[in-house]
Chains A and B, each alone.
Chain A
Amino acid sequence: MAEHAIISVRGVDKVFNSGSDRAVTALQDIDLTIGRGEFISLLGPSGCGKSTLLRVMADLTGPTSGTVTVNGKTPGAARADRDYGMVFQQAGLFEWRNVLRNVELPLQVAGVKKEVHRAKALEMLELVRLSDFAGHYPWQLSGGMQQRVAIARALSADPEILFMDEPLGALDEMNRERLQGELLRIWGDTRTTVVFVTHSISEAVFLSSRVVVMSARPGRVAACIDVDLPHPRTAETRTTPEFFEKVKEVRQALHGAPSEQAAA
């Protein structure tokens, strides 16, 4: 699988409020290697440390112990070099910027020339099929459209890695499945490495080349399951026996994990 590792996590622990009586071990002894171009899902029950693991890789928080390498550097260096884009559970658009200017934000911060970033942002809007809404403000968009803008924003500076923390969590089932399809298409077009956090077994199976199943308290990697369903994956893919078989396998891994809490 990992022809060429782009992210490697070695023996990572993360303890919040360590030393106090409110200490929480969010991550324990995590080992994970992610290959260039993979679509990885982190799946597990609420509170098992999925977000924390993602944030450690993105250098939004530091590990308590262990080492993380992103694109051959420390996570801090990778962040400074803008090697990754990030999509959060909420779109978090800047309400004072229209759609186009929201997508331009990373390019503007990176000091890219104005003429260049205008063209790039328009291209990204095309990718998420929102070209007609370039001049709209966030309050004029539905939740699903806002999330697509957030995805365009995360991709606008051509990052090699895309971190996504339950980006479709707030959407209804229909929008969710549509966006999953779009996400796979974008992944195919851009060849970005994606690390995707989710609660949903079927979402993880449909999207991923590999599902990392985590267990809670303390957060550990319980299983890694390759998903070799052929591409392009479409609505029909969801109805194939192979798909159901994978869903069953992942579900078993999840329930076999030492945690009573089952994920949706």
Chain B
Amino acid sequence: MSTVPLSRPGRPALMSRALRLTPVAVTAVLLLGLWQSVVVLFDVPVFIMPSPVMIAEAFQQDFGTIMSASRSTVESVLLGLVLGSLGGVAVALVVSRFPRMSGPVLNTAVLVNCAPIVALAPIFNNWFGVTSMLSKAGVAAVMVFFPVFVNTTRGLLQIAPLHVEIMESLAARPRQVALLLRLPNALPFIFNALKLGTTLAVIGVIVSEYFGGSTEALGVYIAYQAALPRFDYAWAGILVSGALGLAMFGVVTLLERFLMPWHESLHEEES
């Protein structure tokens, strides 16, 4: 191990990051081009697969409707994400205080997590009302809860024995051990779970919306357009929901960099 000069991510870091993204952008453009030419060359019917240009046109036409539909979807996703994450972290904090209990609880949670939680969507619609935002956010929250809970508990419990001994030698109280050692130790675990959670929350909300609800919602819009059938419009909605998931993932990643500056080293090596 040698001394490394202190480096903050300044302009050079940003530029190298941009350079690293170039291949991704090129690949995306190539794939879109391929998609467009296959659809045009083989005259693929719209109900099978519309071309990117058609989807873009549909998006432009229905821009206002799609945006207002996205708004309530985004709200449900955020609400579900926040509820699920806070719940997961809170329960993990409680469970980690009783290490003997945490094993069985954790295993049960892993089992439940294997079940298709999204199947609960009709039940939640029944509980909270099909038009209620809570029925959509609820499904997302339950889907987010399990990975966050499982990962956070692991992070809270997997601490270096040496660190525990140092806190012991300082006569730290259990609350201090939790706040100063266990929680920061769990942060990388929590962020990994949150990244998983953003995707899950979008899936949970969109699928719940397929089962009905206020028409101002992305899932309802997609299902409705597909039934009409206006598949180019349905695809526009699908791509927007994809972009939504990606954007949320990006926000969590930024938050991670901001809250865990010490992990800069790992970030650099990762990519």
Contacts and interface: CB of A to CB of B under 8 A. Distances in A.
Interface of A: 58, 60, 79-82, 84-86, 88, 90, 92, 94-98, 105-106, 108-110, 135-143, 145
B187 A96 contact: yes
A178 to B, nearest CB: 15
Contacts of B160: 92
Contacts of A135: 6
Contacts of A142: 1-3
A143 B1 CA distance: 7
Contacts of A92: 160, 162-163, 165-166
Interface string B171-196: 11000100011001101000000000
B170 A90 contact: no
Given A90-B162, A94-B163, A143-B1, A106 B6 contact: no
B16 interface: no
B271 interface: no
Interface string B14-58: 000000000000000000000000000000000000000000000
16 contacts: A82-B171, A86-B166, A88-B162, A88-B165, A90-B162, A92-B165, A92-B166, A94-B163, A96-B262, A106-B170, A108-B180, A109-B180, A139-B262, A140-B6, A141-B1, A143-B1
Contacts of B260: 96
B226 interface: no
Contacts of B265: 139
A239 to B, nearest CB: 30
Given A94-B163, A96-B262, A58 B169 contact: yes
B62 interface: no
Interface residues of B, number: 27
B228 interface: no
A105 B167 CA distance: 9
Nearest to B2: A142
B169 A79 contact: yes
A7 to B, nearest CB: 15
Given A88-B165, A109-B180, A82 B170 contact: yes
A6 to B, nearest CB: 17
B1 A60 contact: no
A80 B171 contact: yes
A60 B168 CA distance: 7
A119 to B, nearest CB: 19
A97 B170 CA distance: 17
Interface in B132-175: 160, 162-163, 165-172
A261 to B, nearest CB: 26
A58 B171 CA distance: 11
Contacts of A94: 163, 180-181, 184
Contacts of A98: 262
In order of increasing CB-CB distance, the 3 nearest A-B pairs are A92-B162, A86-B169, A96-B184
A80 B168 CA distance: 9
Given A96-B187, A139-B265, A105 B170 contact: yes
Most buried by B among A80, A92, A143: A92
Contacts of A145: 3
B4 interface: yes
B89 to A, nearest CB: 17
A105 B177 CA distance: 11
B3 to A, nearest CB: 5
Nearest to A89: B162
Nearest to B4: A140
Contacts of A105: 170, 180
Contact of B172 (A81, A95, A109): A109
Nearest to A157: B170
Given A92-B163, A97-B184, A138-B262, 13 more contacts: A86-B166, A86-B169, A88-B162, A88-B166, A90-B162, A94-B163, A94-B181, A94-B184, A105-B180, A109-B167, A109-B171, A109-B176, A140-B3
A133 B151 CA distance: 33
A79 B166 CA distance: 12
Contacts of B264: 137
